Structure 1
Amino acid sequence: MEKIYSRIVRIVSIIIIGYLFLQGLFTICNMQRVTEQVYYMKNNPWRQLLCIGIVVLLCLAARKCKVKEFLDRYGHYVFYVCITGMVLFLLWWVSQTGFWFFGDSEKIYMCAGAFLGGDPSPWEPGGYAHMWPHQNGMILLVAFLLQFVDTVQSFYVMYVILIFFYAVTIVGLYQICCLLFGRNAFTAVQGVIISTYLPYAFLINNIYGDHIGYAFAVVAVWMALLYRRSEKLRYSVLCGIAMALAVIFKQNCLIIFVGIAVFYMMCLITNRTPGKQAGLKIVGNLLLVVVLTFLISRIPAAFISSHLQVEPGAGNSKWAHIATGLQDTESAPGWYNTYNTETFVENKYDTDATAKASQENIRESLQHFAEDPEYAWSFFNRKWAIQWNNPTFECFTL
């Protein structure tokens, strides 16, 4: 069963990554600042293939020159030198750019100021935090910072915080590779690749929960693997706490929570320790992770409710986000077009009514795709391109 599961995951991954690889050979995307208009430009496939060929030749040459033996022994240090260099580069980058935040980042700061001033209006119908309650974690973090530094200084403090969590994410991924494959030349190369992946690194330019949430999610996966190796309770406790913090800062991380739950179930199925007690132990650890995740992730909303004497709402429906992602826009297919915001307002901030309206819109989009497969293919082909083939990942726009 484990082999079948692994093979399915591998095949699906190869199909998706293979398609994105081929698409990247021929397409590169650029985004105009302010308007966010996306331009699809032809890439030079021969130049891309030439560079790939050079890298392959260098790897083959490195094996003959005993570089592999060197990386097997010292690759661990090579990785940490590389990630340290990237952190220093990013610190230099933000000191040179000094972007002033706008959009969601600006709204988060405004809500943080309101929280400190005892103003509950952002959490009341029509307020930003009422519409997007998943931002409560970031709002409280910014509010905490504003008690010690002014607004301008806090921007640079936030840069440092985001760079720190960027490093936590990369180190966590590297440690996961080491647990799975050991410390050798392979994991050293993997570590160098992930630490120099600029599209993710450049995401530090946006005050949002992405880097913080993903860092905690990676730590949660890391702890789950350590539990698998040692079966010690403390790793499940740390896994649950890290997963809760991940959800607090980036609700999308719930998909990683699902993955961790599946991982614990796989531990149960493939458990080689005889007896019911061993199975119950794994189930108990899984329940512990679930309870910790959902209890701790509710703390920000409860704290705000107690402090401001206001009841945070359920917020906009996730269905509205899905509906937005299936609509074409002037900027790019599936891009933000205010549909989710407008639908929530039109339905008088009723989450359930917004969900029903969005579900109907989704059905209409899917029907359109079914009736016009050529358009459907064009839509998703362009959407995947802008998601994956923009080398700077919006960093200048943000």
Structure 2
Amino acid sequence: MKKLQRFGIKTIDFLAVLLFGILGIISLFGAVMTEDAYHIEQSFVWHNPLLSILWVVLLALVLVGLNVLFGRMGNGERVLLILSSLWIFGVVLLWAFLTKNGPNADGASVYYAAKKFARGDFSSLSYRDSYFSCYPFQLGLAFFYSIFLRLLRNDSFHILQVVNAFCMVICLLMQFELCKEFMRGQDQQKRRKVQRYCMLLLDVSAPFLIFGSFLYGEVPSFAFLLTATVLFIRMLRKNSIIATIFGFISLVLAVMVRLNTYIFLVALAIILILFFMVQGGKYSSRKKILFFCYFLGVILASVRVVPAIEDAYGRRSYTEINDGVPTGCYLAMGIMDSEVGPGWYNGYNFETFTIDADYDSKKAQAIGMMKYRILSRELWQNPVQALGFYGRKVVYEWINCGWSVYSGTFISFGERHPLVDKLFEKGPYKAISRYMNTYQSLLYLLVAVGAFGLWRRKEEDGYSAFTRIFLLTAFGGFLFYLAWEAGGRYVLPYAFFVLPNAAMGLESIEDFISKKRETKV
């Protein structure tokens, strides 16, 4: 079993090195960008790779310098944790205040419905001709928002931006703890370095900090999912009842506010299998049965939470909740070209469901799958065209400037100061975009290095499988969005989750260079 487990985790390492290594190298040659934040037309802008490498190295050196600075303090990582928490909370709210951004697109539909739900008004629900008749899965997020609006008796969206800021701080705290878990058994000095690097990588992450004020399900989902991961590891290590209860709740909430957390559920199931291959012998048969029942319950509850909320709203509103746009329409759209990019949103799923199928989910599924089979057959018959399409789709998603975060925060709910307005166009916009490209390149390359370091490790225990959980989740997200509707923002979560692995990569590079210097001396 140990050999089989080792083969499994080393396969994950290899796939992560391959994926993030290729993404990192491509990103040095350019990025998909828009003319400014107000345009949707995108194109690949070429960069001088030597200059890109220079910027990446300079950013890495800044991080190393800051790490050394805090490392010289007696309890530097704790000091940095406090400063980083204040910094992240402040920057997220400052960006929201200066840019005056608020809910837009899907996020706006969910927010305005949540305002009504908080007052007991369910007029936003109908079988047809409403947002939720097309996207009923968003009722989970609407329910989450309505809880805060009801408790605080205030329906301002700024409350939800404050919630987002708190969630970003929780993400920092949980990634700090994950670094501790991932580096358990390693040298304590190394562990502290990795923790500091992880915090610093989040501190300087312009895309993630800008994204923090974006009102949608991702940021709360990040916080819940990372919390659940930490608690699951602690439950397995220490048999903690508190971790058992709140781990369950956290993962269910993560799925409730963002349905694509299903990808993590698949990764979790695989990691648990790898874990018990080695660690299972240390538990009694009774305990193994209890663990199996617990995690099966967690996964089933997570899968059922959104349908349960849909049913509850249907009863409260005396309305039948439509099944919504089916998967076939998303798959068909994911294989089409659009003015924004290959596989990006072009309205096909919405128009097919509302017009061609007249809000009939089964009919829309049949239409969508027929279209998907026709388009996929065309690509199958032309391998060169297929390779070009999917290659461009990957680049437009994963090498997208800042993972398209500007598209979520460019709409203003008030007049901006002229200086702030320049952040969305012309020189300042291009400067921020260039920095975000540099950060993206550094992150991808560091994750590849970190995964390579894991691949080279010889001694592993059962818990080491959890070190790969977000690498596996990212690879799952990569495969999923090859087929699904594309979007730079859609793949941002997978870049965010692998920050601890990137921190491990930067620490290993620093350690390698230090040892080389010592050898020369």
TM-score w.r.t. length of structure 2? 0.69
How far apart are the structure 2 equivalents of 1:124 and 1:59? 53
1:122-133 equivalent positions in 2, closer than 5 A = 122-133=125-136
1:179-194 equivalent positions in 2, closer than 5 A = 179-182=181-184, 183-194=191-202
1:1-398 equivalent positions in 2, closer than 5 A = 1-31=4-34, 32-54=36-58, 70=72, 73-115=75-117, 116=119, 118-120=121-123, 122-147=125-150, 154-182=156-184, 183-270=191-278, 271-273=280-282, 275-345=284-354, 346-398=356-408
Please identify, of 304-313 and 29-38, the stretch whose mean Cα deviation from structure 2 is larger. Answer: 29-38
User: Structure 2 vs 1, CA of residues 195 and 301 (structure 1 numbering), >3 Å: closer, same or farther?
Assistant: farther
User: Structure 2 vs 1, CA of residues 249 and 62 (structure 1 numbering), >3 Å: closer, same or farther?
Assistant: closer
Contact 1:314 1:351 in 2 (8 A): yes
Contact 1:124 1:310 in 2 (8 A): yes
How far apart are the structure 1 equivalents of 2:368 and 2:304? 29
Cα offset for 1:67? 6.0
* Counterpart amino acid of residue 3 in structure 1: R
User: Structure 2 vs 1, CA of residues 195 and 289 (structure 1 numbering), >3 Å: closer, same or farther?
Assistant: farther
User: Structure 2 vs 1, CA of residues 76 and 96 (structure 1 numbering), >3 Å: closer, same or farther?
Assistant: same
Cα offset for 1:300? 2.5
**Secondary structure of 2:32's partner?**
strand
* Counterpart amino acid of residue 221 in structure 1: T
Contact 1:112 1:139 in 2 (8 A): yes
Cα offset for 1:278? 3.5
How far apart are the structure 2 equivalents of 1:338 and 1:325? 11
Contact 2:32 2:44 in 1 (8 A): yes
How far apart are the structure 1 equivalents of 2:29 and 2:256? 38
**Secondary structure of 1:393's partner?**
helix
Cα offset for 1:386? 2.7
Contact 2:141 2:258 in 1 (8 A): no
Contact 1:30 1:38 in 2 (8 A): yes
How far apart are the structure 2 equivalents of 1:59 and 1:104? 36
How far apart are the structure 2 equivalents of 1:245 and 1:359? 31
* Counterpart amino acid of residue 167 in structure 2: F
1:166-187 Cα offsets, whole Å, 9 max, x none, are 2222322221121111441122
* Counterpart amino acid of residue 53 in structure 2: L
Contact 1:214 1:250 in 2 (8 A): no
How far apart are the structure 1 equivalents of 2:9 and 2:261? 22
Contact 1:202 1:395 in 2 (8 A): yes
Percent of counterpart pairs with the same letter?
A: 18
* Counterpart amino acid of residue 26 in structure 1: F
Cα offset for 1:203? 1.9
* Counterpart amino acid of residue 48 in structure 1: S
Contact 2:70 2:80 in 1 (8 A): no
Cα offset for 1:294? 4.0
How far apart are the structure 2 equivalents of 1:119 and 1:56? 51
* Counterpart amino acid of residue 363 in structure 1: R
User: Structure 2 vs 1, CA of residues 341 and 295 (structure 1 numbering), >3 Å: closer, same or farther?
Assistant: closer
User: Structure 2 vs 1, CA of residues 341 and 180 (structure 1 numbering), >3 Å: closer, same or farther?
Assistant: same
Contact 2:175 2:198 in 1 (8 A): no
Find the counterpart in structure 1 of residue 518 from structure 2: none
1:132-181 Cα offsets, whole Å, 9 max, x none, are 01111232344445555665xx1222211112212222322221121111
Contact 1:71 1:188 in 2 (8 A): no
1:243-280 Cα offsets, whole Å, 9 max, x none, are 11111110000111222222333333221326422322
* Counterpart amino acid of residue 37 in structure 1: E
How far apart are the structure 1 equivalents of 2:146 and 2:71? 50
TM-score w.r.t. length of structure 1? 0.88
User: Structure 2 vs 1, CA of residues 160 and 305 (structure 1 numbering), >3 Å: closer, same or farther?
Assistant: same
Q: Which has the bigger relative contact order, CA under 8 A and spacing at least 6?
A: 2
**Secondary structure of 1:30's partner?**
strand
Contact 1:236 1:288 in 2 (8 A): no
How far apart are the structure 2 equivalents of 1:229 and 1:255? 24
How far apart are the structure 2 equivalents of 1:67 and 1:96? 31
User: Please, what is the CA RMSD of the aligned residues?
Assistant: 2.8
Please identify, of 334-343 and 79-88, the stretch whose mean Cα deviation from structure 2 is larger. Answer: 79-88
User: Structure 2 vs 1, CA of residues 272 and 117 (structure 1 numbering), >3 Å: closer, same or farther?
Assistant: closer
Contact 1:329 1:335 in 2 (8 A): yes
Total equivalences in the alignment: 394
User: Structure 2 vs 1, CA of residues 298 and 213 (structure 1 numbering), >3 Å: closer, same or farther?
Assistant: same
Cα offset for 1:56? 5.9
**Secondary structure of 1:306's partner?**
helix
Structure 1 segments unaligned to the other structure (5+ residues): none
Please identify, of 368-377 and 21-30, the stretch whose mean Cα deviation from structure 2 is larger. Answer: 368-377
Contact 1:328 1:335 in 2 (8 A): yes
Cα offset for 1:333? 1.1
Contact 2:88 2:168 in 1 (8 A): no
